[in-house]
Amino acid sequence: MKAVIHAEKPGYDGLFYGEIEEMHPKAGEVRVKLKTAGLNHRDLMVLHRHKSTDPPLVIGSDGAGIIDAVGEGVINVQVGDEVMINPSLGWKEKSDAPPKGFEILGLPFHGTFAEYVVVPAENVVHKPKFLTWEEAGVLSLAALTAYRALFTRGQVRKDMKVLIPGIGSGVATFLLQFAKAVGATVYVTSRSQDKCKKALELGADKALDSNEDWNEALGGEKVDLVIECVGAATFNKSLDQLRPGGTIVTFGSSTGDVIQFDLRKFFYGQYNLLGSTMGSAEEYKEMLQFIETHHIKPVMDQMYSLDQFDQAFHRMETAAQLGKIGFYID
């Protein structure tokens, strides 16, 4: 089958579009003939985590398609069902942290940038009818990450003020839509005026230039909750915008993993710092119910064919996108 494969060389040099052996479902598994798939920042990191000495790997975590084969014992879906894939493997119930053995589709197991993917039957759900194939194929990882960070960890409420630095990513656009859906006041930041404008169109109450003084731009106003995914470039500015006793939830570090901050200022401020990751199957079901209730859809950036993967990766690597980048497969 045709796929985007990482093999033999480290990093981006090892990525190519080619042929790999077709997979077949075992007991408790299903095979999905994919129609669309979604690109995530995780796919960029996989290119460095997957070693050139490891067996070839089909990358990709998000996808949607039609069940075309089922393994023994599968009863929740059948051949012909239209489904979306939950890429969270081995994390069933909501918990403080993922259990031992938790993995994400696309490493170490073959992912969705291919004509077919085999996953546990419990990791597919029927595609909501209000979503197009393009939307369904890019939704899962970003929406689940946003849902856990905002609701499970951040405990967002309608009377809160929420700050979302770096509004360009798929997760950030879900965070904005989710927070507005519960009635929170939402501030966002970006270096791009176009992204700031789009965020305001999506409902943001204020959009700040990432390079300006945020405290001055907000008139000294502090926020209750920051959802931080940028990392070293914005972490201390985010911390400075928290009210005493406020919470910062972090799940990403695209601008660097290591930061320094004033510990005394932190504990005098009674701040809460929480880590977060993608989420459980229980949270995935909650998230799907939430988006159906509020009719929330992914903000779509651009779609490519699989053989145009280099263009898609370049767009994400240069942070040119606003929302989700996807692939047509069928």
Q: What is the pLDDT along the chain (330 residues), one digit of tens a residue?
A: 999 999 999 999 999 999 999 999 999 999 999 999 999 999 999 999 999 899 999 999 999 999 999 999 999 999 999 999 999 999 999 999 999 999 999 999 999 999 999 999 999 999 999 999 999 999 999 999 999 999 999 999 999 999 999 998 999 999 999 999 999 999 999 999 999 999 999 999 999 999 999 999 999 999 999 999 998 888 999 999 999 999 999 998 887 889 899 999 999 999 999 999 999 999 999 999 999 999 999 999 999 999 999 999 999 999 899 999 999 997
- Residue 151's nearest CA partner among 123, 182, 172, 173 is 182
* DSSP track, 135-198: HHHHHHHHHHHHHIIIIIIT---TT-EEEES-TTSHHHHHHHHHHHHTT-EEEEEES-HHHHHH
- Residue 63's nearest CA partner among 150, 139, 153 is 139
SS3 content of the chain, % helix, strand, coil (to 5): 30, 30, 40
> Does the reported pTM lie above 0.75?
yes
Backbone angles phi, psi at 169, to 5 degrees: -75, 165
H/E segment holding residue 68? strand 62-70
Complete domains list, the chain, with CATH:
2-141+279-328 (3.90.180.10), 145-275 (3.90.180.10)
Give the Cα separation of 65 and 70 in Å (integer).
14
